[in-house]
Structure 1
């Protein structure tokens, strides 16, 4: 029978650290198993603990958290934003956050600023950064890498130990007989399960950060004198089409203003033209008559 004093000793050991706590739990579990099965069973109960205590060597994979930022300048923010979306899709990533705002100078021109947060698989981080830097005029770029291998390994070990500790507590609970013992063990079990849930949350966060890299893309509209992302011939061609379109609009406005006056102009000009033509016909000289032949 497990005494209430042993249970309180278990709880006290639990607050001093994971390794000391595990040793106390194992000692209590072995004592309880020995009392229940007799002296012959005690060596068998101790054998699994010796196996568990033996360290297992394993090749540890490096765990890296990669983050990056890219600042771009372009005359067509919406077009560049679409290109960034295509790059994210190409590398099986996703856009987790997106903010846009219209141009302050002329809202009718379209977007003036866009901010996008991408989550890209870590193995494609460098390639995605290189492609993003080429989508428009690059203003600034930055990358940061953090090695969290030790933290990941430590969390995995702590999770494994916490689960083993909980199983031993459940074994003690199944063998408890006194009400006081049951209450004390259940309280200790609840505390350790809460600790395990906290460790699992930390492990999940590390897994998310190391498997997916975060890239923040900022896109701003280039000023009137700013560089364009279509240099050389394409830039000149675009400027020529813009000028032609502006001239066509001016000509259309002029024609629209003249057309309503066309009937009035015809009514005034037509009579004057008719009178002028009649006068020319009337004032034309008559040819002289020649001598009459007999």
Structure 2
């Protein structure tokens, strides 16, 4: 019996076929030592179950991710439009960050969307139209082989656990019970890890992740508002205001120096005026008579 358990443990990390044969041998060995108890028959897998992995291969499993960078004069309005696109395709916003500017309005927004994979392309196109598009990127990864492999490993792990439980139910000695329970706990931990991997793959292939970054457009820059006369008028007012601020700064910088300049120039001006009074003009020479 102990030899059967050790043989079972040694085959714990091997493939499905080796594991099945080792477990079957353990069950047969325990059956020979039991008091007339016959080993339970293990039902052969159904034809549909055997064909399931082959069917999974026919269906491609793709992980799609995308990112969209937008520029808009009204970040809050564009953020609402992005939310509407997510709702249109039965998606959800899993993350959202907003940075405010000095004037109180939003300056930047970041949103992470989870959209059903079947609507990934349509959602990307609609998001690109919500404001002025700055950049757009998409990435697709084929994980079909990984999905099928995980599915087969989960199935084999469950079959192996059922056989170990059969051994445990027929064990009579304390040493055998302890060894089988230890092996059963290890197999169940491996199965839980495989189920977690399977759930993660299912989530990534069924829902695509799209990250949207929205930045406020610079004054006079291209945004989602109407261009033309109003944009030019706004740019002109901004330029006039900037020029007025520069002129005001220059005047403010000169005013403190005005008294100093006057004090330096006043003596020079006084001396120059006094010299003009002291020096008399030379009379012009008149014509001489003979």
TM-score normalised by L of structure 2: 0.72
Q: Superposed, which structure 2 residues align to 1:115-194 within 5 Å?
A: 115-194=110-189
2:90 — aligned with what? 92
Deviations for 1:1-38, whole angstroms, at most 9, x for unmatched residues?
xx222212221222444432232012212333465586
- How much does 1:51 deviate? 7.1
Q: Which residue of 2 aligns with 1:75?
A: 73
1:286 alignment counterpart: none
Deviation at 1:109, TM superposition (A): 4.9
1:87–1:132 contact (8 Å) kept in structure 2? yes
Matched, 1:224 2:230: no
CA distance in 2 between counterparts of 1:62 and 1:99 reads 34
Alignment of 1:246-257 (within 5 A): none
Q: Which residue of 1 aligns with 2:276?
A: none
Structure 1: distance between partners of 2:195 and 2:155: 10
Gaps of 5+ in 1: 244-294
Deviation at 1:228, TM superposition (A): 2.3
- 56 and 38 in structure 1: CA distance in 2 versus 1, 3 angstrom threshold: farther
Equivalences, count: 232
Q: 1:189 to 1:213 in 2, by over 3 A?
A: same
Q: Name the SS of the counterpart of 1:229 in structure 2.
A: coil
Distance 1:50 1:142, change over 3 A: closer
The residue aligned with 2:105 is 110
- The reply on whether 1:236 has 2:230 as its aligned counterpart is yes
Q: Secondary structure at the match of 2:145?
A: helix
| Residues 1:223 and 1:31: Cα distance change in structure 2 (over 3 Å) | same
Contact 1:30/1:45 (<8 A) preserved? no
Structure 1 residues 182-226: Cα deviation after superposition (integer angstroms, max 9, x where no partner): 000000000000000000000000010011000000000111231
- What secondary structure, in the 3-state scheme, does the structure 2 residue paired with 1:59 have? helix
| Distance in 2 separating the partners of 1:128 and 1:148 | 22
